[in-house]
Amino acid sequence: MPIDLKDQVALVTGSAHRVGRAIALELARRGAHILVHYHSSSADAVRSTMHDIKSMGVDAFSVQADVGTPEGVEAVFTAVREAFGRLNILVNSASTFQKRELLDVTYEEWQQTLAVNLTGPFLLTQASAELMRQNSPAGGCIVNICDRGVDGPWKEYAHHGVSKAALWALTEVSAVSLGPDIRVNAVVPGPVMKPAGRNMSDEAWEAVGDTLPLKRTGSAEDVARAVAYLVTEDFLTGTLIHVNGGEHLTK
């Protein structure tokens, strides 16, 4: 029997817009209250996401923080405690995405990417485990949003790929360390939204889809439903779902 998310509390990082927003809305649609975390999103984007979540009859609060710093992670958890005083679900979706080949990555870029994509989720996992274990009944679920770096070297996105491969390794060690009361899983999206901040034409985006076995790109909602599946199925831990039209088979 799938877990009922009604009245559970979910923290979704990077959820004011794009894929994180779709995940937050899917969990809200299933009855979870949501802590919307954002970093540099506009007030309009945050307001609109909060409005859409609340229109599903659940509570929504927001917190602005840089999850690439310990202080930012602490601020997120202060907000969770003040808003809800408990936590059932953490989704680590916030991420940087920078195109660089290995020899072009600067020390600062390496540090920043690892800070947001790996150290942030690590600190959020530790803080979440503590709060989830105060729940009654104790326990919870964490989902880490990875990327194709999980499936092998990603030459054009060297440091990003390394950070996401390591996020999968964090998922596995978390699953064996935090059970049986906390489950930890991952989703590996493929091309589901055009990269943020880049002016990619529809033709170029379609060409990306053409490289996949399913011959099309996906959607943020595809990822959101996979996250909801991992959250609601209580015999799943240490596993990952590729939501990528078969991209991992094309290398």
Ligand X SMILES: NC(=O)c1ccc[n+]([C@@H]2O[C@H](COP(=O)([O-])OP(=O)(O)OC[C@H]3O[C@@H](n4cnc5c(N)ncnc54)[C@H](OP(=O)(O)O)[C@@H]3O)[C@@H](O)[C@H]2O)c1
Which residues contact ligand X (rule: CB under 6 A)? 14, 16-20, 38-41, 66-68, 93-97, 116, 145, 147, 189, 191-193, 196
User: What is the nearest approach in angstroms of ligand X to the Cβ of residue 97?
Assistant: 5
CB-nearer residue toward ligand X: 6 or 215: 215
CB-nearer residue toward ligand X: 17 or 30: 17
User: What is the nearest approach in angstroms of ligand X to the Cβ of residue 1?
Assistant: 29
CB-nearer residue toward ligand X: 133 or 248: 248
CB-nearer residue toward ligand X: 136 or 198: 198
- What is the Cα Rg of the chain in Å? 17
User: What is the nearest approach in angstroms of ligand X to the Cβ of residue 9?
Assistant: 19
User: What is the nearest approach in angstroms of ligand X to the Cβ of residue 185?
Assistant: 14
Spatial distance between the Cα atoms of 114 and 68, rounded to a whole number of angstroms: 8
CA dihedral 97, 99, 103, 105 (to 10 degrees): -40
Task: Report the side by side order of strands in the sheet with 240-243.
Answer: 60-64, 33-38, 9-12, 89-92, 140-145, 182-189, 240-243
Residue nearest to ligand X (CB): 14
What is the maximum alpha-carbon separation in the chain?
51
User: What is the nearest approach in angstroms of ligand X to the Cβ of residue 8?
Assistant: 21
User: What is the nearest approach in angstroms of ligand X to the Cβ of residue 38?
Assistant: 4
Spatial distance between the Cα atoms of 207 and 143, rounded to a whole number of angstroms: 30
Token code pair at residue 1: 């029997």
CB-nearer residue toward ligand X: 57 or 246: 246
Burial of 135 (0-12, 13-18, 19+ CB in 10 A): middle
Burial of 221 (0-12, 13-18, 19+ CB in 10 A): middle
User: What is the nearest approach in angstroms of ligand X to the Cβ of residue 181?
Assistant: 25
Per the listing, tokens 């540090």 go with: 111
CB-nearer residue toward ligand X: 41 or 125: 41
Instruction: Name the nearest CA neighbour of 154 among 93, 99, 219, 220.
Output: 99
How does strand 240-243 pair with strand 182-189? parallel
Other beta carbons within 10 angstroms of residue 168's beta carbon come to: 17
CB-nearer residue toward ligand X: 119 or 232: 119
